């Protein structure tokens, strides 16, 4: 009898402590969302390196009694987000992996990157009209740049209580660039425009590539000191890459460091996807505003490219598809522009031309974040 009683008590303890007992409808919904994200990552190949850890983090966060609040790996990851450690490190990696040559070779690409920031400011005004404070609206608006690290950095400083919804929206739209952008690109461009062939960019000297991050660092930080952590790390990573004498550091930043930080940050973003943070009117409004901002940003870049063509000679026309790469999702947006262009002309390789607006979008979104911090922070 003692054995039976002990077994019964043990079984009861297991049942009462299992996740099934604490599971709510909200947890089930969010686990299904995580499974859908996994499907998109692996079955549809939508940025699996980014989407898969987000999806797993979402599923893990919605298992009841997971102990994430206790000291451990997941709480440490949360600290890395809360205390703004991961976003600047991501910018360090992006800088080390980015070739600013296309932007240097065609400085007019800055116009497309700047036009894409229009979505950020439209979302800012929209959020303020819906009753969000200026700090909250600025944090929501930056989602339009499709720049997850910058969105997290800004939300941590200005609206930490909205960090979960903002991080989820920004990273989700980054991962879903191949799904969201192509219909907009095809809607706003003609068949002829999508087939415009662009000449190869001029060669950029090593000296130009070395001087660019230094000038970017000095000019941007003097103008907007609050953007220093992001722009500074971006410039440092790029300088390490281009200077060519610290190759071991450059490779470490590009590979091991970038991969590790990306995994941790994406898991942390997924862990924010709990019913309390996502399934409520405020969060749903933030996600909707972020989508609108991203769509407007894409439209802004496309229309700027079309406007530039009005003033360019016939032999120097820009394929408007590269304007959509003016958002900060690097290099995803540039790859999408190239892919859509090759659907209409397989010989039309737009990737390097699209990288100009793409990297200018990274800089533009970081500057916009600096403006918001200086103005509302």
Query: Model-level pTM?
Result: 0.89
Which pLDDT score, from 0 to 100, does residue 253 have?
Answer: 96
Interval 316-331 mean pLDDT: 92
- The conformation of residue 328, written as its DSSP 8-state character, comes to S
Interval 293-306 mean pLDDT: 95
pLDDT class of 13 with cuts at 50, 70, 90: low
Residue 328's closest CA among 118, 166, 116, 92? 116
Which pLDDT score, from 0 to 100, does residue 32 have?
Answer: 95
Residue 18, pLDDT above cutoff 70: no
Which pLDDT score, from 0 to 100, does residue 34 have?
Answer: 93
The per-residue pLDDT of the chain, averaged, comes to 90
Residue-level length of the chain: 377
pLDDT class of 44 with cuts at 50, 70, 90: confident
Interval 193-205 mean pLDDT: 91
Residue 14, pLDDT above cutoff 90: no
Could you read off the pLDDT of 223-260 as tens digits, one per residue? 889 989 999 999 999 999 999 899 999 999 999 999 99
Which pLDDT score, from 0 to 100, does residue 109 have?
Answer: 94
Pinpoint the alpha helices (H) of 43-83: 48-61, 73-82
Any idea of the CA torsion for 181, 98, 113, 158, to the nearest 10 degrees? 90
Residue 84: φ, ψ to 5°: 60, 35
Max mean pLDDT among 11-15, 44-48, 95-99 falls in: 95-99
Residue 232's closest CA among 79, 367, 373, 112? 367
The whole-angstrom separation of Cα 55 and Cα 38 is 6
- The conformation of residue 9, written as its DSSP 8-state character, comes to H
Interval 182-207 mean pLDDT: 93
Higher pLDDT, 172 or 237: 237
Could you read off the pLDDT of 53-83 as tens digits, one per residue? 999 999 999 988 777 777 888 889 989 988 8
CB atoms closer than 10 angstroms to residue 281: 7
CB atoms closer than 10 angstroms to residue 189: 23
| 269 in Cβ contact with 57 (< 8 Å) | yes
């Amino acid at each position: 009898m003692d054995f039976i009683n002990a077994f019964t008590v043990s079984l009861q303890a297991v049942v009462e402590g299992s996740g099934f007992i604490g599971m709510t409808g909200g947890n089930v919904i969010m686990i299904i969302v995580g499974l859908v994200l996994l499907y998109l990552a692996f079955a549809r190949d939508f940025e699996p390196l980014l989407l898969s850890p987000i999806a797993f983090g979402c599923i893990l966060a919605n298992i009841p009694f997971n102990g994430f609040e206790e000291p451990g790996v997941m709480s440490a990851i949360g600290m890395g987000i809360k205390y703004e450690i991961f976003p600047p490190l991501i910018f360090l990696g992006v800088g080390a992996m980015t070739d600013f040559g296309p932007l240097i070779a065609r400085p007019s690409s800055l116009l497309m990157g700047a036009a894409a920031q229009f979505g950020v400011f439209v979302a800012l005004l929209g959020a303020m009209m819906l009753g969000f404070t200026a700090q909250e609206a600025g944090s929501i608006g930056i989602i339009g740049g499709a720049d997850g690290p910058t969105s997290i950095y800004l939300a941590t400083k200005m609206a930490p209580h909205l960090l979960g919804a903002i991080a989820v929206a920004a990273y989700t739209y980054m991962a879903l660039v191949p799904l969201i952008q192509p219909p907009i690109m095809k809607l706003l461009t003609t068949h002829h425009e999508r087939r415009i062939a662009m000449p190869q960019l001029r060669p950029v000297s090593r000296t130009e590539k070395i001087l660019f991050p230094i000038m970017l660092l000095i000019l941007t930080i003097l103008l907007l000191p609050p953007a220093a952590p992001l722009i500074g790390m971006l410039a440092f990573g790029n300088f390490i890459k281009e200077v060519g004498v610290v190759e071991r550091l450059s490779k470490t930043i590009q590979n091991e460091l970038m991969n590790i930080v990306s995994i941790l940050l994406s898991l942390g973003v997924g862990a924010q996807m709990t019913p309390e943070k996502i399934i409520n009117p405020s969060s749903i409004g933030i996600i909707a505003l972020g989508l609108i901002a991203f769509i407007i940003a894409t439209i802004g870049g496309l229309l700027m490219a079309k406007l530039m063509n009005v003033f360019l000679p016939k032999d120097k026309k820009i394929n408007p598809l590269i304007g959509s790469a003016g958002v900060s999702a690097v290099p995803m947006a540039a790859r999408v522009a190239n892919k859509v262009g090759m659907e209409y002309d397989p010989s039309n390789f737009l990737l390097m031309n699209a990288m100009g607006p793409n990297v200018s979008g990274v800089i533009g979104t970081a500057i916009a974040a600096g403006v918001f911090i200086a103005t509302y922070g």
